[in-house]
Structure 1
Amino acid sequence: MDGWSQGAVLELGKGRIAVFSEGMMFSSQLDSTTGKKYGLTSAGAQHNEQFLNSVMHWLVEEL
């Protein structure tokens, strides 16, 4: 979806918040019938793991 935001991050007071409208990219699913992977480790989603790692790193950084 080009041009559509799927999440937002914000520094708020003494903390930070990250909100995303879709959680599949942060989890891994496997269709046991077909063996197809969805989410974090699915084909074409090679950047999901690094993105999740970057978000988590940003959330725990001291302000």
Structure 2
Amino acid sequence: MSRSEWQKSTFSGASNECVEVRTADGMVELRESDTGDIVVRTTPLKFAKFVQGVKAGEFDHLMT
């Protein structure tokens, strides 16, 4: 079983109010930093498509 370390955005600083991401067993996992619960487990391709949408600004309306 291959697992990488959890990683969070540098934009969150020392805060735990963010999500963390890692790869595990060929999948991408996301979890809440403050609780450690896994929120999503998906394929790298699906995650890449989501990141492309984020970079394109498709989810900017969700920002508070």
Q: Normalising to structure 2: TM-score of the pair?
A: 0.28
Q: Taking CA–CA contacts closer than 8 Å with sequence separation of 6 or more, which of the two structures ends up with the larger relative contact order?
A: 1
Larger Rg: 1
TM-score, L = length of structure 1: 0.29
